[in-house]
Chains A and B, each alone.
Chain A
Amino acid sequence: MNKLFLIIQREYFSRVRKRSFLLMTILGPLLMAGVFIVPVWLALRDKTDHQILVLDHSGLFINQLPNSKTIKFTYGAESLQSAKAKLKDGPFDLIMEINGDPINGEKTTPLLYYKKQPGMSTEQYITNAMENILFDYRLQGDSIDVSKIDKARRPVEMLTIKVTENGKDEKTNTGTNMIVGFVCAFIIYFMIFLYGSQVMRGVIEEKTNRIVEVIFSSVKPFQLMLGKIIGIALVGLTQFILWIVLTITIQTVTMNVLFKDQIADTAKQNAQVEKVMKNDLSAGMDKMQKVKSPNEVIELINEFQNINITKLLLCFGFYFLFGYLLYAALFAGIGSAVDSEADTQQFILPVTVPLIASFVIAQTVATDPDSSMAQFFSIFPLTSPIVMMVRLPFDVPAWELLLSMVSLIIGFLFFTWLAGRIYRTGILLYGKKASWREIGKWLFYKP
């Protein structure tokens, strides 16, 4: 036991003190914070301004297109040639030529000339505006009151509300659930690969260094394998905790500095929603219509709080740990069977296939979290760490969760035992590339 502790200690400190560990620890949160902050920033950022010269030969759109904050329309009657010259010297950066005869029902295909391509949103804005004008024009032509149509067409926003065991209402959002599940699953997936391959490399290093023979004259092979797996797990855990702390710090700081006003707005709107929920729902619906859609990205971040964080974190910790342990054992087994990293390809594939497959399965699981496929793969130990994390925010029955956890522990014990048998034989065989058949035989060798 004391020796196992020594091994864990060495594996841990030799990695934590590396410069690459420090680098990853700092870069990780920057990347993660980036994933959250950049979209918000992009959404809030002022878009580029467009000055558009409209050459409308149909005459329908002249002075009709509404200007926006960033898109301004100017109307001209000159030829395309001379207009293009203006494009070169400014002030216009886009020219739109409208041909055809939409007034008489002919289809029109406006042509947009540019020097620098405008974004999708700009194109979208223009076509939307034109469609609206056409729509209104045609209705008016048929003497239909446009304002009546507007009144008839009322948008519906749905708010899903979960009635919990103790009868309280809880606001949920399917989209947020999916995202939280996926983020957790992705982190597990990523960490298994990252640290699993570290285990494998560590084993190969010891094998090619030939230091195993010295160590095996002091400890049992299984102790060394287990020590390495646990040591690296602790490295991963350390890094992960540092990441969370740093990410939260960075996020809190930037959120408060960059998006102070928006957060206040969203909070106010949320309070309104809460108030609505307390009232009678049917009466509240009408009022809710008045709650304009707040800035969606920031709302999303606020919605994290509505998911049962404690349960999620506990499950995340469990699936992260045991998922890693199971796969790390397999990676250690592979490492022991080869002489160099280049030889790992053929053995790595069968180990990575269930990992990647579970990520693919997870996508379908998210759309139908209670299907029998979702049930099976969230219990099967090779896929459960990822699939279950995606399912979890959608409230999995307790017995399924328990079964999944028990089968993961059994799977972990089984695969570690299996890998241990491969390891103790493989690591002492040098200079020979093992085949699957041989590895199969190793399982039945007497140590």
Chain B
Amino acid sequence: MNPILEVKHIHKQYANHTALSDVSLAIEPQKIFGLLGPNGAGKTSLIRIINQITGPDQGEVFFNGEKLAPRHVEMIGYLPEERGLYKKMSVGEQVMYLAQLKGLKKNDAKAKLKEWFRKFEIESWWDKKIEELSKGMQQKVQFIVTVLHEPKLLILDEPFSGFDPINAQLIKKEILELREKGATIIFSTHNMGSVEELCDNIALINKSQKLLDGSVKEIRKQYSSSIYTITFRGNLMGFTNAVWAAAEFLEKKSEDHVHTVTLKLLRQNKPNDLLQAVLNSGEILSFHEVIPSMNDIFISVVEQKQAANTQSSFTE
């Protein structure tokens, strides 16, 4: 499938620092794409370029196969990290204004807004001023503003920050629904744990460079570390003796003859081999693979990279 958004060899330089250096990405349609990286990595710079708020120094962006142009702004919805609305303006006027700026006709905008307000059960807010609303309420309004014009591409910067768990759940549900309807979503966040279960594909960015990208499943597989946690009741000594050659013990916890052990399988050993060994030592209560989180992967990739850099600087 053709990517809805293609970023090719983008460079962006500010006075004294490089925001992006040679970043390329391809984002598949109807997928949720996670743009992950610590603060200051260059995520917002990239998003601003996609939104045509700023332009790249070098490189090109393609939207739906066409070179990015002003008319594309109406097909993109953007929720910036720093949320903000006119404080003194009424909710209704404000959303109408922002919707019309996105190219919606007055009547269409009104009809769609009424629908969303009903959906979120906030119809009574229409005439309220923004400053009368709580932070969470303002976020809801802002989310509606972002998605109202039914963008093909939705860019959400730190989407769940500022929402309470219930509203975060509501927003998650809406985002998934939008994807079902055909939208492509980019999540940008430094809090990788908050979005990784939602993302189909991700890219990791650090210090203006893309470290890796691909589907979440494949990346996990690539970085899986064959670590398992097993909980059983029985003889710890017997278990240890049975597996000592096949695995490296990482953590042990015992309470009332119930033992929880985290270990890493060595060499060609398979999980089944491990289970075989435990079967003779007691009753298995649980067994699962410890899947590396995006956070873990990120840290290990950064470490690898740093190690490689120091290596190369030594050899120079």
A244: chain B residues at CB < 8 Å are none
Chain A 211-230, CB-CB to B under 8 Å as 1, else 0, gives 11111111110000000000
- On chain B, which size bracket covers the interface? 20 to 34
Closest chain-A Cβ to B99's Cβ sits at a distance in Å of 10
Binding site for A on B (CB under 8 A): 15, 48, 51-55, 57, 70, 73-74, 76, 78, 80, 82-89, 97-98, 100-103, 142, 145
Contact B84 A214 (CB under 8 A): yes
Contact A209 B55 (CB under 8 A): no
Contact of B98 among A212, A214, A428, A438 (CB under 8 A): A214
Q: How far is the CA of A304 from the CA of B88 in the complex (A)?
A: 43
Contact A6 B100 (CB under 8 A): yes
Contact B84 A446 (CB under 8 A): no
B98: chain A residues at CB < 8 Å are 214-215, 218
Closest chain-B Cβ to A119's Cβ sits at a distance in Å of 49
Task: Tell me what chain B mostly uses at the interface: helix, strand, loop, or mixed.
Answer: loop
Contact of B55 among A210, A216, A447 (CB under 8 A): A447
Binding site for B on A (CB under 8 A): 3, 6-7, 10, 14, 205-206, 209-220, 428, 430, 438, 441, 446-447
Top 7 nearest A-B pairs by Cβ distance?
Answer: A210-B84, A210-B82, A218-B101, A213-B80, A209-B84, A217-B78, A211-B84
Q: How far is the CA of A216 from the CA of B51 in the complex (A)?
A: 8
Contact A438 B54 (CB under 8 A): no
Contact A213 B84 (CB under 8 A): yes
Contact B100 A214 (CB under 8 A): no
Contact A209 B76 (CB under 8 A): no
Contact B54 A447 (CB under 8 A): yes
Contact of A216 among B53, B83, B145 (CB under 8 A): B53
Known: A213-B48, A217-B51, A438-B15. 9 other contacts (CB 8 A): A6-B97, A206-B86, A210-B82, A210-B83, A211-B85, A213-B82, A214-B98, A219-B101, A428-B54
Q: How far is the CA of A10 from the CA of B98 in the complex (A)?
A: 10
| Residue in B closest to A209 when the chains form the complex, CB atoms | B84
| Residue in B closest to A218 when the chains form the complex, CB atoms | B101
Quick one: given A209-B87, A210-B83, A441-B15, are A446 and B97 in contact (CB under 8 Å)?
A: no
Q: How far is the CA of A314 from the CA of B79 in the complex (A)?
A: 47
A206: chain B residues at CB < 8 Å are 86
Contact of B53 among A7, A209, A213, A441 (CB under 8 A): A213
Closest chain-A Cβ to B77's Cβ sits at a distance in Å of 8
| Residue in B closest to A429 when the chains form the complex, CB atoms | B14
Q: How far is the CA of A210 from the CA of B84 in the complex (A)?
A: 5
Q: How far is the CA of A217 from the CA of B98 in the complex (A)?
A: 10
Q: Can you report 21 residue pairs joining A to B where beta carbons are below 8 Å apart? A: A10-B97, A14-B88, A205-B86, A206-B86, A209-B86, A210-B80, A210-B82, A210-B84, A213-B78, A213-B84, A214-B84, A214-B142, A214-B145, A215-B101, A217-B52, A217-B53, A217-B73, A217-B76, A220-B70, A428-B53, A447-B54
Closest chain-A Cβ to B127's Cβ sits at a distance in Å of 13
| Residue in A closest to B84 when the chains form the complex, CB atoms | A210
Q: How far is the CA of A205 from the CA of B87 in the complex (A)?
A: 9
| Residue in B closest to A212 when the chains form the complex, CB atoms | B84
Contact B78 A211 (CB under 8 A): no
Closest chain-B Cβ to A3's Cβ sits at a distance in Å of 6
Closest chain-A Cβ to B89's Cβ sits at a distance in Å of 6
B97: chain A residues at CB < 8 Å are 6, 10
Quick one: given A6-B97, A10-B97, are A211 and B86 in contact (CB under 8 Å)?
A: yes
B145: chain A residues at CB < 8 Å are 214
Closest chain-B Cβ to A6's Cβ sits at a distance in Å of 5
| Residue in B closest to A438 when the chains form the complex, CB atoms | B15
Contact A428 B48 (CB under 8 A): yes
